[in-house]
Amino acid sequence: MTASRRAAPIGASSAFRTGVGVAAGVLAAAITGAVSLWAGLAVHIARKAVTPTPREPDTEIVDLDLAAQTITLTRTPDTELPGRYGLFTTGTSSYLKLGTVLSADAATVTRKLLTEIGPASRLSAEAAFSGWYYDEPEQLHLPFSTELIGSSVGPCPAWLFEGEADATTWVIQVHGRGARRPECLRAVPVFSGLGFPVLIVSYRNDSDAPRSRSGRYGLGATEWRDVDAAVGYALRHGARRVVLMGWSMGGAITLQVALNSPYRDAIAGIILESPVVDWRPVLEYQARLLKVPDPVTGLAMQTLQSPWAAPLTGGETIPLDRLDVVARAAELRHPVLLMHSDDDGFVPSDASHRLAQARPDLVTMQTFQVARHTKLWNYDPERFTGAIRDWLHARSITAH
């Protein structure tokens, strides 16, 4: 009886240890699986951040009234905006100009068509709302030429709008991520009216310019060299000074030119429209919209910065510290006009405000409301153009 009683606890202990071992194994496998899942998601996010992608549909065409020349779209924070905009479509038209909002309900918005649509027109329902408005340089009815800017990746196409014959200050405009040169056309008339020649440039891996070896964005860390080549082009063709203007990621590129260019002394000033001043808050904001857990977002940013992860993202190491211009604010030397909407919806304005606070001696900030991302001209063209004119005048920056 004694031996029997002693054997039972030993058997129970063995079963307990076995159960604990199984549970530990299951837990370890679960943790390993979760870590692997998070790591894979982080790599996916990092890769997406640096991969050029085509414009994706963000609204649908619900109705076309050919008699009234109106279009009804599904309602979004962009499609309900007042002002003039554009719409990327597929079918018999690839791009439409849109006018004011005529009516709206909870689900749809009806706007005036500024591009005439005929009875033979056939358009797909999927469409993408745009702030470009102008999609071809000819629509400005200003004299221009197409130029090629030599860079380390090959010739980058550019549009050069003529200024006054004796102008010695040029404006160089830089478009944003996933966009093309037409994004910058809205600002040409204000500069042209003041006599400035305007050079609108392309850069590596956008759809107009040569592809780099990786075919991936550097988020400004590599693209600035192509814009710097454009500064050199301007200086060789009659410019003595340049004003740089960047839209969205073009702002990040422009700031890197200002911080790194051998032509820094020729930069008269910088204009930023909805700029990326620091990539971290942008990536965090976009991740929150996608409901990505914070640890995954942090891991994605570490992935972007890690040399070992470059083969996984398909690109190069992204130096987020070097691209943080708030942290590098003391290095800025040029006056800056910074225009940003506090409800941007894509690039939060927090870093722009921090930069303005860090360098009030250089940065003049114009804060918009409602206007959303890179749509400040569309929402309030008078304020947009007036802000540029007044800033140039206050800084004594002229075409001559």
The model's pLDDT over 67-115, given as tens digits with 9 standing for 90+, comes to 999 999 999 999 999 999 999 999 999 999 999 999 999 999 999 999 9
Q: Decide if 169 contacts 396 (C-beta within 8 A).
A: no
3-state secondary structure 173-214: EECCCCCCHHHHHHHHHHHHHCCCCEEEECCCCCCCCCCCCC
Which pair of tokens denotes residue 211? 């592809």
Confidence of residue 10 (pLDDT cuts 50, 70, 90): very low
- Cα–Cα distance for residue pair 161/197, rounded to 1 Å: 6
DSSP letter assigned to residue 123: B
β-sheet bridge partners, residue 96? 87
Residue 320's CB is within 10 A of a number of other CB atoms, namely 18
The model's pLDDT over 310-354, given as tens digits with 9 standing for 90+, comes to 888 888 899 999 999 999 999 999 999 999 999 999 999 999 999
The model's pLDDT over 167-216, given as tens digits with 9 standing for 90+, comes to 999 999 999 999 999 999 999 999 999 999 999 999 999 999 999 999 99
DSSP 3-state helix, strand, coil percentages of the chain (rounded to 5)? 40, 25, 40
Cα 139 versus chain centre, distance: 24
Average the pLDDT over 226-235 and give the result. Answer: 98
pLDDT at 21: 53
β strands within 179-329, DSSP E? 198-201, 241-247, 267-273
Question: In this model, does residue 365 exceed pLDDT 70?
Answer: yes
Q: In CATH, which superfamily holds the domain spanning 139-278+324-394?
A: Alpha/Beta hydrolase fold, catalytic domain (3.40.50.1820)
pLDDT at 14: 59
β-sheet bridge partners, residue 156? 149
What is the rounded average pLDDT for all residues in the chain? 91
Which pair of tokens denotes residue 129? 């709302």
Question: In this model, does residue 122 exceed pLDDT 50?
Answer: yes
Average the pLDDT over 275-291 and give the result. Answer: 96
Collapsing DSSP to helix, strand or coil, 36 comes out as helix
Average the pLDDT over 207-229 and give the result. Answer: 96
pLDDT at 29: 43
Going by C-alpha positions, the residue among 230, 229, 228, 207 that lies closest to residue 217 is 207
185 backbone dihedrals φ, ψ, rounded to 5°: -60, -30
Confidence of residue 24 (pLDDT cuts 50, 70, 90): very low
The model's pLDDT over 123-170, given as tens digits with 9 standing for 90+, comes to 999 999 999 999 999 999 999 999 999 999 999 999 999 999 999 999
Question: In this model, does residue 235 exceed pLDDT 60?
Answer: yes
H and E: helices and strands count for the chain:
11, 14
The larger pLDDT score, comparing residue 38 to residue 102, is at 102
Average the pLDDT over 231-253 and give the result. Answer: 98
Collapsing DSSP to helix, strand or coil, 230 comes out as helix
pLDDT at 40: 83
Collapsing DSSP to helix, strand or coil, 345 comes out as coil
Domain ranges of the chain: 59-130, 139-278+324-394
Confidence of residue 18 (pLDDT cuts 50, 70, 90): low
Question: In this model, does residue 8 exceed pLDDT 80?
Answer: no
For β-strands 241-247 and 267-273, DSSP reports them as: parallel
**Residue entry with tokens 């009030």:** 360
Q: Decide if 203 contacts 218 (C-beta within 8 A).
A: no
